[in-house]
Amino acid sequence: MKNFLKISLLAISIMSSINFVQAQQLAIVEDFKPSSLNQPQQEYPMVNSQGYARFKIAAPTADSVRVSLGLGGRGGTKLAKAEDGTWMGTTEGHMDEGFHYYNVKIDGGKFNDPGTLNYYGSVRWESGIEIPAADQDFYALKNVPHGNVQQILFPSLSTGTSRRAFVYTPPGYEKGKGKYPVLYLQHGWGEDETAWMNQGRANLIMDNLIADGKIKPFIIVNTYGMTNEVKWGKMKEFKIDGFQTVLVDELIPFIDANFRTIAKKEQRAMAGLSMGGMETKTISLNKPDVFAYYGLLSGGTYASTDFKDKPQPKLIFLSCGSKERPDGIRKALEELKTAGFNAVSYISEGTAHEFQTWRRSLLAMAPLLFK
Amino acid sequence: MKNFLKISLLAISIMSSINFVQAQQLAIVEDFKPSSLNQPQQEYPMVNSQGYARFKIAAPTADSVRVSLGLGGRGGTKLAKAEDGTWMGTTEGHMDEGFHYYNVKIDGGKFNDPGTLNYYGSVRWESGIEIPAADQDFYALKNVPHGNVQQILFPSLSTGTSRRAFVYTPPGYEKGKGKYPVLYLQHGWGEDETAWMNQGRANLIMDNLIADGKIKPFIIVNTYGMTNEVKWGKMKEFKIDGFQTVLVDELIPFIDANFRTIAKKEQRAMAGLSMGGMETKTISLNKPDVFAYYGLLSGGTYASTDFKDKPQPKLIFLSCGSKERPDGIRKALEELKTAGFNAVSYISEGTAHEFQTWRRSLLAMAPLLFK
């Protein structure tokens, strides 16, 4: 239960992505459609063309139903009893484009909206909703050749178990003979190895980039980034050693032994979002001979001094949403470039510490890898 | 909302799997442990060594909290307010071994238990709980070589979209050169292509069978078995044509083109549970040149007359739980054997129309395939 307080910190960063209608009250356009992440046959939640979300929850004898999305810091959207006995409500402001986690408070307990699919975030499977974005085409399921996403179970002596990873192999991998570079791509705190494919749609982003001829195909590997569980707010207690061993000494050799990879540093990248960026920074500096391309997505910055007595990476990619702290990224980029590093930054316009920022970051980073 | 009534029919078959303590009141042994399907860091639900389940739900100001497991037909287990303000309760009887779906009624609304992982059943993502079974070793995650489970997106002209399937490839597939037979294995009504790997643990059953040298490795393919949505209770309106086209004309050619299969009838099996059995029967008889091995798992029976003017299959496998209608299986088996068919039956002792029956059925069927 202690977790609640910590998790609410994350919730705040999520809620801060709501744009409030302030001076001028916008009329809500009544063109609501089911969110694309709804469970089969479920009408609600709905989203309109302005980015408002509308919720409907059946709990006939409840005293209070509240959705965690919609009112920054003030407890979300309070639903009201509708004529048919269900609880309904619409967010007060429109929401940022892209994917949002949320949950439903019913009489003081935290549950999921039975209308939507669940996504692992905040150390729980949360409800998910998708606000259609102007640029949603780049992560849409299209009629192009599709790569596969494989669940693998790899032996981990250091943790005494088989651990799970997901491996994206590009279209044609199964029948081909070629060897591929590999991007090791990490999730954020409270998420797990399912995040990049489920919330991030990394496989579809890759399929579309490859179909458009914008990148040379590569493999993506996602695994769980913690071996000691650390609560939000206590990240300073997080020890990287356990995960570093799993990644560098167990997972990478397993991938190189079981997939057609080009098993050398120049064909290996590591990137991560939020906590995964912190991990990328630490491991890339601890193990400078393993990866040649580094990406921190809403996950901090490098300074040129980090590389004293260390080889320069082939690429440093830094990104975040415009609603985060883009100035930190811009400054770090300038410093790195001045010092002679191949550094590139990307700021996702109009998004916060959420998956739309990271989908776009992957889109921006992928063409720069393995050059 | 109409769905509720239909779904409750399925719920009843689930609830009937509870064994009630009747004449002699058994003392509940206080050795409860978290269910193996709990979300990370979640203590509840718990299960004891006798197969009782104990639930704990936080909803401080709710009027009524009820879990759908625990009391056959009488509405499940009613939770009571505990001293710490949470709602708690223990099933009145012990439950059958294996996997059970359930949900939580809070003030009249249907939600999931935030403590557990969700599994797609009854046309919704439901809470799952696992009652440890005496024979659980055969589907345990063990230190053996593991096959991979791949999500593929295959083009389907007939339905105008890319459809999803999961493909189990045996250990060593990635680096090997051999070709493999394929089992097309279908889920039940209200479930989808995730069921056999998630609830059924089909990949672990295969890994363990292969590690023990009990079967020759083969590939398993799961896809969604409906193209027209039909509600429970209206299965007579279900038309097989759409799914048959997807399976036979689209999925099988795609699998044969993209995986190292032995692409001929003698190396292809179809089986399914419940509705998937019905589909197997219909498609195997409609398309006698596609599959050579047929399996109906709690999914009906064949009669020898079904094969008038048709080639005999290499195997007919029929199974169900001892709490279903094993007599139907036994009679059908006798009739088929008398008529000269290679028919084998399996009755899962002490289980009902639930996944423990189907896990065991796969264990019994797999060694008989592709002989």
The pLDDT of residue A233 is: 75
CA distance A366 to A360: 10
Average pLDDT score over residue span B162-191: 95
CA distance B55 to B71: 14
Average pLDDT score over residue span B63-73: 82
Residues 136-165 of A with CB under 8 A from B: 141, 143, 146, 148-155, 161-162
The pLDDT of residue B85 is: 87
Whether chain B has a CB inside 8 Å of the CB on A118: the answer is yes
Check if A27-132 and A137-368 are the same fold. no
Q: Give residue limits of the domains in chain B.
A: 27-132, 137-368
**Beta-carbon separation of A61 and B108 below 8 A:** yes
The pLDDT of residue A1 is: 31
Whether chain A has a CB inside 8 Å of the CB on B2: the answer is no
Asked if residue A94 lies in contact with residue A51, where contact means CB atoms within 8 angstroms, the answer is: yes
In tens, the pLDDT along B262-311 reads 999 999 999 999 999 999 999 999 999 999 999 999 999 999 999 999 99
The pLDDT of residue A74 is: 62
**Class at the top of the CATH hierarchy for domain A27-132:** mainly beta
Average pLDDT, chain B: 91
Average pLDDT score over residue span B116-138: 96
Counting every residue, how long is chain B? 371
Average pLDDT score over residue span B92-110: 95
Q: Identify the three-state secondary structure at position B336.
A: helix
How far is CA B67 from each of CA A25, B48, B300, rounded to the nearest angstrom? 44, 17, 31
Q: What is the pLDDT along chain A (371 residues), one digit of tens a residue?
A: 333 333 333 333 333 444 444 434 568 999 999 999 999 999 999 999 999 999 999 999 999 999 999 865 566 999 999 988 899 999 988 999 999 999 999 999 999 999 999 999 999 999 999 999 999 999 999 999 999 999 999 999 999 999 999 999 999 998 889 999 999 999 999 999 999 999 999 999 999 999 999 999 999 999 999 887 677 777 778 889 999 999 999 999 999 999 999 999 999 999 999 999 999 999 999 999 999 999 999 999 999 999 999 999 999 999 999 999 999 999 999 999 999 999 999 999 999 999 999 999 999 999 999 99
Instruction: Give one word for A201, left, alpha or beta, with left for phi > 0 and alpha for psi -120 to 50.
Output: left
- Say how many CB pairs under 8 Å bridge A and B: 139
The pLDDT of residue B3 is: 35
Q: pTM for the whole thing?
A: 0.91
- What ipTM does this complex have? 0.89
Tokens 């699998």 found at: B255
Helix/strand/coil percentages in chain A, nearest 5: 25, 30, 45
pLDDT > 70? residue B226: yes
The pLDDT of residue A237 is: 80
Asked if residue B248 lies in contact with residue B287, where contact means CB atoms within 8 angstroms, the answer is: yes
The shortest C-alpha distance from B7 to chain A (Å) reads 14
Binned at pLDDT 50, 70 and 90, residue B227 comes out as confident
DSSP B52-81: -EEEEE--TT-S-EEESSSSTTTTSEEPEE
The pLDDT of residue A24 is: 44
The pLDDT of residue A203 is: 98
Q: Which residues of A touch B106 (CB under 8 A)?
A: 59, 62, 106-107, 109, 111
Strand order in the sheet with A87-90: A33-34, A46-47, A53-57, A87-90, A80-81
In tens, the pLDDT along B173-184 reads 988 899 999 999
Binned at pLDDT 50, 70 and 90, residue B238 comes out as confident
Give the torsion sign (CA, B288, B290, B296, B299).
negative
Q: Which residues of B touch A225 (CB under 8 A)?
A: none
pLDDT > 90? residue B237: no
Closest by CA to A76, choosing from A115, A103, A44, is: A103
The CATH architecture of the domain made up of B137-368 is: 3-Layer(aba) Sandwich (3.40)
Residues 312-371 of A with CB under 8 A from B: none
Whether chain B has a CB inside 8 Å of the CB on A21: the answer is no
Half-sphere exposure of A369 (CA within 13 A, CB side): 32
> What crossing angle do the helices spanning A202-211 and A355-365 adopt, rounded to 10°?
30
Binned at pLDDT 50, 70 and 90, residue B358 comes out as very high
The pLDDT of residue A72 is: 53
The pLDDT of residue B184 is: 98
pLDDT > 90? residue B19: no
pLDDT > 60? residue B166: yes
